[in-house]
Amino acid sequence: MKKILIDGSSLTLKSLERVTRGMEQVELSEKAVQKITRARNLVERFVEEEKIVYGITTGFGKFSDVFINKEDAKTLQRNLIISHACGVGDSLSEDVVRGIMLLRANALTKGNSGIRLVTLNLLIDMLNKGVHPIVPEKGSLGASGDLAPLAHMVLVMIGEGEAIYKGEKMTGAEALKAASLEPVELTSKEGLALINGTQVMTSVGAHALIDAIKLCKMSDIVASTTIEALNGIIDAFDDRIHQLRPHKGQINTAKNIRTILNDSKMTTNQGELRVQDAYTLRCIPQIHGASKDALSYAIEKVEIEMNSVTDNPLIFPETEQAISQGNFHGQPMALIFDYLAIAVSELANASERRLERLVNPALSNGLPAFLTPVGGLNSGFMIVQYSAASLVSENKVLAHPASVDSIPSSANQEDHVSMGTIAARKLRDIVFNASYVLSMEWLASVQAIDLRENKEMSTATKFGYNKLREESSMIIKDRVMNIEIEKTHDLLMKQSFVNEIEEMVGEIEI
């Protein structure tokens, strides 16, 4: 299998996912090797000449005015890692940890961090051989980078900490040995080069973004099924309307709905059954479209961050300088992930309101209460809506921005922090919740289709209907709804399912 070349400049969300979830391998470009070696030579010169350079011949943070001689360089770097490994809470998922390792390695290939080639190669070998450090998800302020969680990654590199290898939890030393790898003894600048960066927040946020892109596409598919179930008015999706307010996401969403419902006989026209639909049907292009525009902006910013150098100090071999600066500050990602959290929350908000219209007999255009043929004896989809409402309410709490908070650290030397990793984790949780709300809407819309006399769905929505009905039959008598929701969610979130729909109707654009 051809390996993905990392050069510090060309990683994308797609190539990230290929490595983190597809388990593809990576290798350094030849040019990167040259740049890494050149920067490392300069660091070693600084050490030999005992030049005062932050993090190379000095302590860290408030201790930046403490000189460290070259004899203590290795002790300094080891102490940095073991003292900074202060993470707590649940471990980050395997794909996120692989993303952290990949992004950290990619940043180091730029040749501005001063790490040794042998140290970087160990990180890449761990990634390629599946040695995955256990990284607690909490403990980062998101400025000075993701110090605590990245330190847990580096613990394994020095033969400490814990890792997962071939599905088994073991010590870092055991995992390296099992993979035929040797721990490394860090020396000058290497500890900072490995932990001073935004790779944890970027990996968590990038994976949430990847899932949110899929969610946006599924939102249009699910909403189209609901439009049919409620005999929605198709006129509101006329391209002429959206060209008069030409936001890209809005135009694309209207086009998606028109394409998906192109041959449906279950939609209606303005004035046929009613003059206009409620907002969560009529305004799907405006609601979904605004969220898609947020995603499009985020994709650009996240891919910039994925190919950035974010440690401190930065090494510039061409001018023989090491400059102390602030690229480690997570604010650019913190704001993006807070923005995305709001955007994805809105997809769930609209979905839950459409679900309410399906189950509420006062709003459903003739469907039985709670989508059950025998109400009273059976509750049908009553509590499905409760559960969706709970997830939407939780999202509203999680959507409060993390980036507006800051607590000074390191004796006020680091007096403004981003909380970007908290923002990324909240975004991840919102995407998770939203995916279940959409699943509940889809399950209910398919049930509603079964309760309609006219079932002449569009080709695309009928395909989805059939796929779901292979997993979950129509609910006549009450049964354990959690099981049906999980089946629906598993199908909805399969990339292959999205691909099959797109083969029929063309790309569902965001």
Catalytic residues: 54
The gap from C-alpha 430 to its chain's centroid, in whole angstroms, comes to 10
The gap from C-alpha 84 to its chain's centroid, in whole angstroms, comes to 25
27 φ/ψ angles, rounded to the nearest 5 degrees: -150, 155
The dihedral built from the CA positions of residue 489, 495, 500 and 502, taken in this order, carries a sign that is positive
**How far is the first Cα of the chain from the last one, in angstroms, to the nearest whole number?**
31
CA separation for the pair 82, 231 (Å, rounded): 62
CA separation for the pair 75, 86 (Å, rounded): 19
DSSP track, 108-171 = HTTS-S---HHHHHHHHHHHHHTEEE--EEE---SSS-SHHHHHHHHHHHTT-SEEEETTEEEE
Tokens coding 131: 């040695």
CA separation for the pair 10, 161 (Å, rounded): 31
Cβ-based neighbours of 268, under 8 Å, separated by 6 or more = 231, 232, 233, 234
| 198: nearest Cα among 332, 7, 315, 341 | 332
Instruction: Please compute Rg for the chain using Cα positions.
Output: 26
How many residues belong to the chain? 510
Q: Which DSSP state fits 196?
A: S
373 φ/ψ angles, rounded to the nearest 5 degrees: -65, -25
Burial degree of 462 (CB within 10 A; 0-12, 13-18, 19+):
middle
3-state secondary structure of 54: coil
Tokens coding 240: 């002429």
CB of 193 within 8 A of CB of 150? no
3-state secondary structure of 12: coil
CA separation for the pair 381, 359 (Å, rounded): 7
314 forms bridges with which residues in the sheet?
A: 323
CA separation for the pair 505, 267 (Å, rounded): 18
CA separation for the pair 139, 149 (Å, rounded): 7
